[in-house]
Amino acid sequence: MTINRAAFRGLAARGAARVLGETDNMLVNTKDILLEAQQQKKAVAAFNVTNLETVQAAVSAAEQENRPVIIALGERYFPTVDVEGFSAMVRAIAAKAAVPVALHLDHAYEKQSIVRAIRCGFTSVMFDGSKHALERNMALTRDIVEIAHMAGVSVEAEIGSVARGAFSDEEEGDGRLTDPEDAKRFVAETGVDFLAAAIGTVHGMYTGEPRIDLELLTRIRDAVRVPLVLHGGSGTPDEIIAEAVSRGICKVNVNTEVSIAAVAELLRFAAKPDAARSHLSTVMAEVQEAIQPVMRKFVKLLA
Ligand SMILES: [Zn+2]
């Protein structure tokens, strides 16, 4: 009797999905919503958030526009955020959400962080090997792709290097733009699911005039098939973001602009005469209310 190996592969994949809880419809695979966005020539907002109120604001903003949303947590927040607790919270909120919600590990440099995120149910991970030379970045990324794909988790990687502007807590990048030929080779040799391309945006807010190379973006889009990711959405002029989406960007990362709005609201609140008597729940509710329109602006812009 011949064994139908294809059927067994299907069983194994469903087993992995069950371990990850993907059959319960609580979270969606990031790759699925990005491929859909790519077909529609739209993009999905990925909000870097770290707590209950900011997750709630992101999901509400997406619901208001009836768009999917990606909740992202960077490795740099692991020391202060309970990763497993955060994942459980996002799943519970996603289960009640009216729109698809994905959970993404942003900028991870350590294999250990990637495995930890996969184990607790993240639906995609970003391995950032951009500080390494191309060959080394490819070898490291390929290894991560192999592990993540076994667990049914999709992978983002970066080539070129996004520089750091103001108000950002990201690693300093050297601002090297992505070479389209390198991008083509990188995707083919690593099997990565989506690619962060450096086209001149910065992490955080711009300190001068943004110099974003949309022509380069078109060349990268023509060289690779996978959805492209724009890091450094904050402070980028709306018309440039919209143009970037029309040229193949399917995921836009937003962190700093939301953080600035939240801190501004905290300061405004603190300046009120009776602020010291306020309850923390009231302060946090005000912050949530203040950042939701900022998030909604991005969701709407990408649709
Ligand atoms: Zn980034």
pLDDT bracket for residue 175 (50, 70, 90): confident
Q: What is the per-residue pLDDT for 4?
A: 55
Residue 10 has pLDDT above 50, yes or no: no
What is the reported pLDDT for 14? 44
Q: Which pLDDT band, with edges at 50, 70 and 90, does 206 fall under?
A: confident
In the structure, what pLDDT confidence band is assigned to residue 165 with cuts at 50, 70 and 90? confident
pLDDT band of residue 182 (cuts 50, 70, 90) is very high
How far, in Å, from the CA of 172 to the mean position of ligand 1?
10
In a domain, 16, yes or no: no
Percent of the chain having pLDDT more than 70?
Answer: 92
Q: Please report the DSSP string for 125-183 in residue order.
A: EEE--TTS-HHHHHHHHHHHHHHHHHTT-EEEEEES--EE-BT--SPPP--PPPPHHHH
Q: According to DSSP H, which parts of the chain are helical?
A: 5-20, 30-40, 52-65, 83-96, 111-119, 134-150, 180-190, 214-223, 238-246, 256-270, 280-302
Q: From the CA of 106, how far away is ligand 1's center (Å)?
A: 7
pLDDT at 12 over 70: no
Mean per-residue pLDDT, 225-248 = 94
Q: Which among 263, 206, 207, 197 is positioned nearest to 236, based on CA atoms?
A: 206
How many structural domains are present in the chain?
Answer: 1
Determine, yes or no, domain membership for 290: yes
Of 170 and 237, which is predicted with more confidence?
A: 237
Confidence of residue 3 (pLDDT cuts 50, 70, 90): low
Residue 279 confidence (pLDDT) above 80: yes
Judge whether residue 5 has pLDDT over 60: no
Q: Read off the pLDDT band of 170 (50, 70, 90).
A: confident
Helix, strand or coil for residue 39? helix
Q: Cα(277) to centroid of ligand 1, in Å? A: 38
Q: What is the CATH number of the domain that holds 213?
A: 3.20.20.70
Q: Which of 24, 106, 182, 274 is catalytic?
A: 106
Q: Round to the nearest angstrom and report the end-to-end CA distance of the chain.
A: 52
CB 187 within 8 A of CB 195: yes
Q: Which domain holds residue 27?
A: 21-302
Asked if pLDDT for residue 18 goes beyond 50, the answer is: no
pTM of the model: 0.90
Res 212 pLDDT > 60: yes
Name the average pLDDT for the chain.
Answer: 91
The answer to whether position 10 is within a domain reads no
For the stretch 94-143, pLDDT in tens is 999 999 999 999 999 999 999 999 999 999 999 999 999 999 999 999 99
Residue 3 lies in a domain: no
CA 51–ligand 1 middle distance (angstroms)? 19
pLDDT the model gives residue 156: 98
Cα of 188 from ligand 1 centre, angstroms:
22
Domain-located, residue 72: yes
User: Cα(255) to centroid of ligand 1, in Å?
Assistant: 9
Asked whether residue 106 is domain-assigned, the answer is yes
Per-residue model confidence (pLDDT) at position 15 = 47
pLDDT value of position 7: 46
- For the question of residue 106 being annotated catalytic, the response is yes
Q: Which residues contact 222 (CB under 8 A, 6 or more apart)?
A: 180
Q: What tens digit of pLDDT does each residue of 30-84 get?
A: 999 999 999 999 999 999 999 999 999 999 999 999 999 999 999 999 999 999 9
Cα 160 off chain centre by: 17
Classify residue 113: in a domain, yes or no: yes
Confidence band (pLDDT; 50, 70, 90) for 2?
low
Q: How far apart are CA 132 and CA 114, in angstroms?
A: 18
Residue 232 falls within a domain, yes or no? yes
